[in-house]
Structure 1
Amino acid sequence: MTPAAPDFPKHKKARALKPSSRRPAKELCSECGLCDTYYVHYVKEACAFLNQQIPELEAQTHGRSRDLDSPDDWYFGVHQEMMAARKQDPIPGAQWTGIVSAIAIEMLNRGLVEGVVCVQNTEADRFQPKPVIARTPEDILAARVNKPTLSPNLSVLEQIEQSGLKRLLVIGVGCQIQALRSVEKDLGLEKLYVLGTPCVDNVTRAGLQKFLETTSRSPDTVVHYEFMQDFRVHFKHSDGSTELVPFFGLKTNQLKDVFAPSCMSCFDYVNSLADLVVGYMGAPFGWQWIVVRNPQGRKMLDLVLDQIETQPVMSEGDRRQAVQQSIPAYDQGVTLPMWAAKLMGVVIERIGPKGLEYARFSIDSHFTRNYLYTRRNHPEKLEAHVPEFAKRIVSQYKLPEV
């Protein structure tokens, strides 16, 4: 009698296969990197744009999914606590104060992990992402500053298995982390930590260049940029100067199609499957917003508590009218004259939403836009693709007809 063949995972059966060059999600592919590895054989289950499964993966990761009776859960996901924080001694060259880099370095130095998946840039291009497995603090510091382009972080999954690493920290954004959580049990790891950043509106490298050339006075000297709580885009230039451009002065009519279709159909702005999330949008200007989702996330944050100052989160203002007005403005590609944009920015900065209310404003604005995009371009996916919490957020607003 012939013994039964061992039941190897699908990707191990496929070791000799060349990774597929296809993208099953087609135009909705976020280029997370999964399809560049033999883990492509899990893509139909793992891809956020083929199989939306946030509630199931929240329960797997955090022990529960969102409480749909709690509006805070709708917006911010499963969480134990939130706070505003900033590093007392900022890391030179970091985009903000360097909390993400500091946590990663502490985890590596203390032996909690053997490697950190993060994103450096190529030697030829400061904005071209290069995913790496960092093994030293210097490797981690080389990855500081956001890369606002689609990045194949999960392309290093094969290297992880081949390297024999057993304890790993992965830094990534929502679509990458959903795919990672879906294949987590097949990675052969003893311990996986996930440090997430909120993410919205990534672009291809060509799309980024169009955005810079359309928006900045000096696109070739931009080091990094961010859409900030004062309703202005902050461009940091290589000479140390900061350029401020009002949201309402962006040339929306030229930029409507620059963002990746995956980002236009994403409903995981807050990176709901990470253990710990570090961003900015729920904090006062100059501070970072920290969301602890589970005990493992709290353990990660505890490593740097002696390096940071914290304060409670706050919420002020009412976002609803601003969101409702922004829906047709974006939909129709309205661009204000710069003088009017600056004036509106000043007024909204003084009386508009702040803290968690600003975060809700940003989530509402993007979810309504993305719901419209999905309804118009992929109506067959709408019901299954949009999570219930996102439907509840969108239902607060009047949307234009298709």
Structure 2
Amino acid sequence: MTSVQPHKKAKALKSSSRRPAKELCSECGLCDTYYIHYVKEACAFLNQQIADLEAEAHGRSRDLEQWDDCYFGVHQTMMAARKQQPIEGAQWTGIVSSLAIEMLNRGWVEGVVCVQNTESDRFGPQPVIARTPEEILAARVNKPTLSPNLSVLELVEQSGLKKLLVIGVGCQIQALRAVQDKLGLEKLYVLGTPCVDNVSRDGLQKFLETTSRSPETVVHYEFMQDFRVHFKHEDGSIEKVPFFGLNTKELKDVFAPSCLSCFDYVNSLADLVVGYMGAPFGWQWIVVRNDRGQEMLDLVMDQLETQPVMSKGDRRAAVQQSIPAYEKGVTLPMWAAQLMGVVIEKIGPKGLEYARFSIDSHFTRNYLYVQRNHPEKLADHVPDYAQRIVGQYQLPQS
């Protein structure tokens, strides 16, 4: 395993708080390496270039006349899946870990860029280049904090690796795609996860303390398709808190400004994406974006139970109502939040329609954030597909 020590020049830049993206920096790690020289071209918050990079990675960019392209990006197939034999301790059933291990064991790659946790903090991200299955398994479970995954890139070149798998989220993958030709690799595979609303470590602590009954015992959590936050605790118990009961006024400011100005929820530039947002409860959503992604998925297909994606319900009224509710920091009494959660679970959007609900809710919120806080960036920063999605709704006047 190779872990990272920041490049001296980049470290000085970080400590003086002069990141080129300033407050919008997502701490992807690029500026911790000598690839910082490319940051003005590569950074998702300085140079929005998803359409061009999609064409390079997938052979085409999105067809804006196709709503599925607008929402879910360039793709060949989508499905719902889960492992027949789940990995113990995985956040879901372990599809991401299994795929990475299979690629390493078969010699497709020599290393896997993934994120373990620090020795002192289960939520503290520690990017590594994993060289063994055990090191990959040590990275299972999401770290819901900003994570400098790309800080290991200069170690890739120094170690002589030629075949690499990178696991990451949208802002990291956009920067990676922009510099991938500089890495000296013969093969690069990109496995993405959908990502929204990361926080700093302090912000995570505030979220846990504001929301969970026992913040010190939370192992992991996720905003789930049943409109509840699911907290898993050390004793194996699951605590469920309805979205509508969250203390919105207290929590509005914990999310990173980069996440509040992001329009790549679905990780558009990965070869293969594994998440949950477009799948039924208990399943994972898999999006194959190109031939390389299909080759990756084929390695583990015999380990999976699969079913077609489905879509049910209509999200639009709920999204429109959520816009002013978020703006005003509305929080329902817990009994009402629980009741509303039960009702929406029965009649609300499911499958791909739930994914659209989540995308619409975040894109409208993020559009307003950029419009109000960085109006000079609005026209260039919001991709065409996001503008089309946001255009379905009535937004408050700024």
TM-score bracket for the superposition, by shorter chain length: over 0.9
- Output the TM-score relative to the length of structure 2: 0.97
- Output the TM-score relative to the length of structure 1: 0.96
SS in 1 for 2:365: helix
Q: Is the 8 A contact 2:265 2:359 kept in 1?
A: yes
CA distance in 1, matches of 2:304, 2:27: 34
Moved over 2 A (4+): 15-22
Closer, same or farther: CA 70–84 of 1 in aligned 2, 3 Å: same
Cα displacement string for residues 82-123 of structure 1 (whole angstroms, at most 9, x for unaligned residues): 000000000000000000000000000000000000000001
Q: Which amino acid aligns with 2:339?
A: L
CA distance in 2, matches of 1:53, 1:230: 34
Aligned residues: 388
Residue in 1 that maps onto 2:384? 388
Identify which of 313, 316, 323 aligns with 1:320: 316
Q: Which amino acid aligns with 1:190?
A: E
> C-alpha displacement at 1:49, in angstroms?
0.2
Identify which of 67, 79, 82 aligns with 1:71: 67
> C-alpha displacement at 1:42, in angstroms?
0.3
Query: Is the aligned partner of 1:376 residue 2:372?
Result: yes
Identify which of 168, 183, 186 aligns with 2:179: 183
Note the residue ranges of structure 2 that are not aligned, 5 or more in a row. Answer: 1-6
CA distance in 2, matches of 1:355, 1:386: 26
CA distance in 1, matches of 2:243, 2:130: 36
CA distance in 2, matches of 1:331, 1:368: 11
Query: Is the aligned partner of 1:166 residue 2:166?
Result: no
> C-alpha displacement at 1:246, in angstroms?
0.2
CA distance in 2, matches of 1:392, 1:155: 34
CA distance in 2, matches of 1:156, 1:146: 18
CA distance in 2, matches of 1:240, 1:107: 30
Q: Which amino acid aligns with 1:371?
A: Y
Query: Is the aligned partner of 1:55 residue 2:51?
Result: yes
> C-alpha displacement at 1:16, in angstroms?
9.0
CA distance in 2, matches of 1:269, 1:176: 12
> C-alpha displacement at 1:398, in angstroms?
0.3
Note the residue ranges of structure 1 that are not aligned, 5 or more in a row. Answer: 1-14
CA distance in 1, matches of 2:253, 2:98: 36
Residue in 2 that maps onto 1:349? 345
SS in 2 for 1:194: strand
Residue in 1 that maps onto 2:356? 360
Closer, same or farther: CA 297–18 of 1 in aligned 2, 3 Å: closer
What value does the CA root-mean-square deviation take over the aligned residues? 0.9
Residue in 2 that maps onto 1:256? 252
The structure whose Rg is larger is 1
Identify which of 86, 95, 99 aligns with 1:99: 95
> C-alpha displacement at 1:271, in angstroms?
0.1
Q: Is the 8 A contact 2:10 2:36 kept in 1?
A: no
Q: Which amino acid aligns with 1:127?
A: F
Q: Is the 8 A contact 2:29 2:149 kept in 1?
A: yes
Q: How does 1:173-322 map to 2 (within 5 A)?
A: 173-322=169-318
SS in 2 for 1:146: coil
Identify which of 19, 24, 29 aligns with 2:20: 24
> C-alpha displacement at 1:17, in angstroms?
5.3
Q: Which amino acid aligns with 1:57?
A: L
Q: How does 1:80-99 map to 2 (within 5 A)?
A: 80-99=76-95
Q: Which amino acid aligns with 1:186?
A: K
> C-alpha displacement at 1:234, in angstroms?
0.3
